Chains A and B, each alone.
Chain A
Amino acid sequence: MPSQKPTPEAEERLSQLLRMKRQERPDADFWNKFDEELRSKQLSALVRTQSWYERLGKTSLAIARRSTTATATVSVFALGIFAVSKSEYFANNDLEATQPSVAATNEAVALNATNAAPLFVVEEHFVAALEPEEPVFIQSFDVQPLYEIHTLTQRASSSNYSINAAPKQFTVGGQANGTSLGAQVIRTGNQF
């Protein structure tokens, strides 16, 4: 930055020169246009309406500012409930309280009473109400009677769930009609 020690004369000349800048003035046409534009801007400023999102934003901000403590408390409370509801502990306890014997398994298998082999499997997450019915006798055209398990229904399930395993028909040698075959669920989905 160039500099020069100011002398009184040079300083006076500079002041004179700077005062010349006062003469840099726009003409009347400029001011007419200026007034017109300013009037238009002023009117726009007067009638300007806020869009719905501006209003919503401002209202939310105002409410939040006025109730900061309440908002914070509610937020923490909501977050706590959410965290607890999503926790494994909560989910397991709930299941154990309602169906402790079946919650720990993923598949439901009905066992043949004679050989204890699984009859069918329910995939994980299926919701179904277990109705511990006896196998139903279907026909007896030949020596071996045919039975069908109708133990799984969707009675308690939401529409998101379905049972993939079709009812199994099976025969049991040497058993009489109406006799309990001792079918039991040994593994189920965790929603039971």
Chain B
Amino acid sequence: MSFTKTITKSLVSSPERRLEADEDLAIVSKIQAGDVDAFDTLILKYRERVYSVIYNLTSNREDASDLTQDSFIKAFQSINRFKGKSSFFTWLYRIALNTTLTHLRKNKLRRFLSFEKMADEDHTAGFIENMTTESDSDKAALMNELQEKLNDAFQKLSAKHRTVITLFEIDGLSHKEIAEITGTTIGTVRSRLHYAKQFLQGELKDYLR
């Protein structure tokens, strides 16, 4: 266990992440020892984040739900092969990404998008407020339009660019963490991020003025 912990420490950057990784590792050890119920803790901890990443990659809530479940099942089935060479979180994200990218490759022609409702929070309201001074109903319509446009622009990005921008801008991961998850270098992550942002700016220029 000390060996895997050392490796994990070297890969996980911030102290919070390190603490989180050590906690996960303790849970994983329990599961590997036969405490199957301990996996529920990991599901509860990561299900929303994993779902969010997959949802932003697919823009389809049903697919995202299924793929999130499949990712957890795959992780559960392979938990005994997890040796702690990366953090559990990185390992789980890799499984989720591979599952999603395989799904996207198989369903290239399927372009049915469905959207989650945006939670009415200050951040969202503030952004819309800045864009219009119209009535509440107009703001709601603008919100829907914006959401649709944003998801549409997202889907025009290639899967690898979409992955990077989702993990960075929406999930809030660092370049290093993204590089680790996607199996690329930090330079590649930065380059993809720059390209993806440029593209989205072009697509959403009407809303960014």
Whether both chains belong to one complex is answered with yes
> What is the distance, in angstroms, from B23's C-beta to the closest C-beta of chain A?
21
Category for how many chain B residues contact A? 35 or more
Residues of A contacting B: mostly? helix
Max chain A C-beta neighbours (<10 A), residue from B61, B115, B197 = B197
Pair B65/A21 contact, Cβ less than 8 Å = no
> What is the distance, in angstroms, from B51's C-beta to the closest C-beta of chain A?
7
Residues of B contacting A: mostly? helix
Q: Which residues of chain B have C-beta atoms less than 8 A from A66's C-beta?
A: none
In the complex, what residue of chain B is closest to A27 when comparing beta carbons?
A: B117
- Encode A1-25 as 1/0 by CB contact (under 8 A) with B: 1111110001101111111111111
Beyond A34-B68, A45-B77, whether A26 also contacts B169 by CB under 8 A is no
Q: Which residues of chain A have C-beta atoms less than 8 A from B43's C-beta?
A: 35, 38
Q: Which residues of chain B have C-beta atoms less than 8 A from A20's C-beta?
A: 118, 123-124, 127, 146-147, 150
- Please provide the chain A residues from 31 to 48 with a CB less than 8 Å away from any CB of chain B in the complex: 31, 34-35, 37-38, 41-42, 45-46
Between A and B, 21 residue pairs with Cβ closer than 8 Å are A2-B202, A3-B202, A14-B208, A17-B204, A17-B208, A19-B169, A21-B56, A21-B169, A22-B52, A23-B119, A23-B124, A25-B116, A26-B61, A26-B116, A34-B51, A34-B68, A35-B43, A37-B65, A41-B69, A45-B76, A45-B77
The interface of chain B, by Cβ under 8 A from chain A, is 36, 39, 43, 47-48, 51-52, 55-56, 61, 65, 68-70, 72-73, 76-77, 115-119, 121, 123-124, 127, 146-147, 150, 165, 169-170, 197-205, 207-208
